[in-house]
Amino acid sequence: MGAKSLTATTATTATTAATASTGSTASTGADRRTALVSGVLFLVTEVAAVAGLVLYGPVLDGAGYVLGAGADTRVLLGALCEFVLALAVVGTGAALYPVLRRRNEGAALAYVCGRLLEAAVILVGLVSVLSVVTLRRESAAAPDGDAASLTTAADALVAIHDWTFLFGPDFVLGANTLVLACLMYRSRLVPRPLAVLGLVGGALICASATAVLFGLYEQVSGAGSLAALPVFAWEVGLAVRLLAKGFSGPAQLPNTTERWAASPEAVGGHSLAPR
């Protein structure tokens, strides 16, 4: 009976280990696809953000845009880029969640919520810019309108965009970067030097946003651009890493007999051994 029991236990353990190996392989394949999608989305956010800011130039810099001939097509293309940016921002949070959840579910959920908030703030700024375009078209259709009132309304809408540009791509982005980089650092999903760059970039962009908030310098300035470089490098570096090599380390299995079979010491010895 003892021999039979030992044989049965050994067979059960072998079966469980095989199941764990299969599950680990499947999880690794899914993680690789997640890494590819996330890398592409991070690159999209960078391209769309820069393109949107450049295309918005006439409406953001020209105080009399609402009264002039305007460059509506250019501004509308900028709005389209911002909309793509918002979608990609949400996409990065959704794509990374399954992998991050296995390391720290609370932090993973916080990152998803933070990305949703960031996208929402971006969309508010987008709508304010489109509203300036609408005002310009209405003023062209009614040339006898009050020019001073139109200019004041347009300036107010541009100011809304400027504030959302500060809180979305600076404050909220900085907080999201800190959450993700901290999680990546602790779980070693990417090389630690890259995660440290994210921690530095997130902290620096938040500090820079605070300086802009209190009027120390303009957001779009030399100092503001320098402060944004580390977080830009972090996102581009993360995208390249995910596209080229994916996540570091093996897939993490849940606390089950499968995880015990794969690595008993990972769950505290033999307490979860199959019986």
Q: For residues 21-48, b (16+ Cβ closer than 10 Å) or e, as one string?
A: eebbeebeeebeebbebbbbbbbbbeeb
Other CB atoms within 10 Å distance of the CB of residue 209: 21
Mean pLDDT value across the chain:
83
Checking 92-95 for CB contacts under 8 A at 24+ apart, the result is 92/38, 92/41, 92/42, 92/45, 95/34, 95/37, 95/38, 95/41
Cα 177 to Cα 118: distance, rounded to the nearest angstrom: 11
pLDDT digits 0-9 by tens, 133-178: 998 888 766 666 677 888 888 899 999 999 999 999 999 999 999 9
Q: What is the pTM of this model?
A: 0.80
Cα 204 to Cα 188: distance, rounded to the nearest angstrom: 22
pLDDT digits 0-9 by tens, 17-75: 444 443 444 447 788 999 999 999 999 999 999 999 999 988 887 667 888 777 889 99
For 150, the enclosing helix (H) or strand (E) is helix 147-166
CA distances from 201 to 38, 42, 133, 180, 218 (A): 19, 15, 34, 12, 19
pLDDT digits 0-9 by tens, 202-252: 999 999 999 999 999 999 899 999 999 999 999 999 999 999 999 986 544
